[in-house]
Amino acid sequence: MTDVIVIGAGAAGLMCALAAGQRGRSVLVLEKGPRIGAKILISGGGRCNFTNLHAGPENYLSANPDFCKSALARYCPADFLALVERHRIPWHEKKLGQLFCDRSSRDIVEMLRRECDEAKVRIETAVEVSAVRRNESDESFEIETSRGTLTSRRLVIATGGLSLPKLGATDFAYRIARQFGLNVLSARTGLVPFTFGGGQLDICRSLSGISVPCRVQIESETSKTALPDFTENLLFTHRGLSGPAMLQISSYWQPPAKLRINLFPDGDARAWLEENRGSGQRLDTLLARRLPERFAIAWTAPLAPLRPIRSYSSAELDAIAGKLEDWTLQPAGTEGYTTAEVTVGGIDTRELHSKTMEARNVQGLHFIGEAVDVTGWLGGYNFQWAWASGHACGQAV
């Protein structure tokens, strides 16, 4: 009998396995795909945004926001960075605390593989798990696989959420949780581009490829809590809007909420218009000094006929400034799990112990990583949750 079986060889699963192995536990990792760390390999454009220096509980979305505090406090970004540096992997900070590999995401995967090897962790790939059972006589677990029946004293589910099915994502973790009586919260896409319809889609298509700085927030009458806003770039696509600002806010968006976009995130639109009131330039030409020209032309088109800025009344400039700072759009939806980077929702963390990730009512059963209802912001936060939750579990199994 193996001490610990980890199902899923992603970021959280591998971290859990190496942490448990380093404590002398016999550990077996089962991965249904042909290779380990599939999501790590494609992340960050192939360079893996492996953590964020500023990661803290406030950067995570959960129905139980206090749950992540313990794990994040006990394994912080500096701990993972020390591991990276011990393996002499060159890295750099891109922006806003986001840390990337200089060379390739493969460096992170190979680092985790070496750590697992040194901890005598066994990893088997291309293994399908068809059933999981609890042996009540000794509280062990039986795992039916394509390579036979395996048994373990502890079982860790680290198979992620529903995002990026092309990499093998399924609802396996949710099914196992429900099988053992745990509550699973409804799941939805996170860090995902928006889609639009009608005239708004026409605008997006005409501006595809153009990036615009903005501050975005959600206009919602149903939310009972204050929702964050994000100051980053948006990117027009053939289907709608993407870019860091849109990906960030998408994790908080639910239909039929609207997006409120401030096109002057670092300034006062009305004051800027007033400063340039003496200009003989037309409104679209003036705006092209602050915003991409094609966007300025498209955005001002509904205000035609356009006139020199000095010919607008104060009331008209007030209205234009108001629209610049509160451009409201109604998404038709999102691009779905095929492009979503994460899944929002999942296994209810109120069913788990925050220090060990163990199910409160099923001794020896643990859930970690994206499978549980903890979703980080864009920029390395979700990897930090994977490392932290995996480490917390690995210290307990």
| Rounded percentage of the chain residues whose pLDDT exceeds 70 | 99
Q: Hunting for tokens 């973790």 — which residue is that?
A: 173
pLDDT digits (tens, 9 = 90+) for 8-45: 999 999 999 999 999 999 999 999 999 999 999 999 99
Which domains are assigned to the chain?
Answer: 2-189+338-394 (3.50.50.60), 194-334 (2.40.30.10)
pLDDT digits (tens, 9 = 90+) for 203-251: 999 999 999 999 999 987 666 667 899 999 999 999 999 999 999 999 9
CA distances from 71 to 1, 342, 369 (A): 28, 19, 11
pLDDT of residue 220: 73
Segment 105-121 shows an average pLDDT of 98
Q: Hunting for tokens 């949750």 — which residue is that?
A: 385
Q: What number of residues does the chain have?
A: 397
Strand 122-124 vs strand 2-7: parallel, antiparallel, or unpaired? Answer: unpaired
Q: What are phi and psi of 254, to 5 degrees?
A: -140, 140
Q: Which two tokens stand for residue 190?
A: 């996170």
pLDDT of residue 85: 98
- Read off the pTM: 0.96
Segment 52-69 shows an average pLDDT of 98
pLDDT of residue 222: 65
pLDDT digits (tens, 9 = 90+) for 360-389: 999 999 999 999 999 999 999 999 999 999
Type of residue numbered 50: F
Strand 365-367 vs strand 148-157: parallel, antiparallel, or unpaired? Answer: parallel
Alpha helices of 158-287 — where are they, by DSSP H?
A: 172-179, 198-206, 244-250, 269-275, 283-287
What's the rounded Cα separation, in Å, for the pair 36 and 29?
A: 10
pLDDT digits (tens, 9 = 90+) for 148-182: 999 999 999 999 999 999 999 999 999 999 999 99
